Amino acid sequence: MLEKLGRRAGGGLLDIVLPPHCVACGVLLPGAHPPLCTTCRQALLEIAAGTCQQCGQPAGGLPCPVCGFHPRPLCWIAPVWVYGGPLADLIIDFKRRGTPLLAEFFARQLARRARENLADGNNVDLLVPVPLHPARLARRGFNQSLLLARRVARLLGRPLAANLLRRHRDTPVQADLAGRRARRENVRGAFRVSRPRRVAGRRLCLVDDVVTTGATLEACARTLLDAGATSVAALALARRQWQNP
């Protein structure tokens, strides 16, 4: 009951009774605060400029040597952080619970990264969350990518297409698959567009939490391009450093 009252009052009452703590380490946060203390926030390794626009991996130029020989369907991809450390725990917790405080914090960082790309002329007409299969959505109770995309759309002033892309095959979890080829095959043909007319001629931007090989985002992008999208970009919270072939 107290938590509900705190939410209705914008968190003010709850902050008085239960002072805010860092969501990562639990240390008390004085005054106006983000969800992370200074120490934990500094532990997040932000991805600097100079990454390959098509895969998000570190590269001295654009595109990286791999994407130069094998162009990907994404016109640009913009992950915010390198996956690991306290960030990994935060993302796992967010995927399990959908904490609104984390959703707001993550969405602000995604919107900031999006604005950097929009300033370079990489315009976007529509935001599209990476979908979950209905069975997995029922088990989890929410789609974390939709929670992020809804807030990013509001921050950027761009429309959101929540159900434009659908996952019609309940594929095994990508994290359980070891190789890049296995991940690509796992999601091949797994997505469909529900309203092709809304896709045709549009510049779309996918929103997801973690990118590893990029197989899921690329499968989504190919589906949208086949439906008539002009271009497909992607925003992600984090990029894993991928080593397996």
- DSSP code at position 129: E
As a whole number, mean pLDDT of residues 225-242 equals: 91
Q: Sign (positive/negative) of CA torsion 54, 84, 182, 134?
A: negative
Q: Residues with Cβ < 8 Å from 54, sequence gap 6 or more?
A: 62, 63, 64, 67, 71, 72, 74, 75, 76, 77
CATH 3.40.50 domain range(s) in the chain: 47-239
- Predicted TM-score (pTM) of the model is 0.84
Q: Who wins on pLDDT, 16 or 104?
A: 104
Q: Sign (positive/negative) of CA torsion 145, 148, 151, 157?
A: negative
As a whole number, mean pLDDT of residues 39-58 equals: 79
Residue 11 clears pLDDT 60, i.e. is over it:
no
Band (pLDDT 50/70/90 cuts) for residue 172 is low
Most confident of 56-65, 67-76, 177-186: 67-76
Q: Sign (positive/negative) of CA torsion 51, 215, 104, 224?
A: positive
Correct CATH for 47-239 of 3.40.50, 1.10.10, 1.20.81, 3.20.16: 3.40.50
H-run or E-run covering 137: helix 134-140
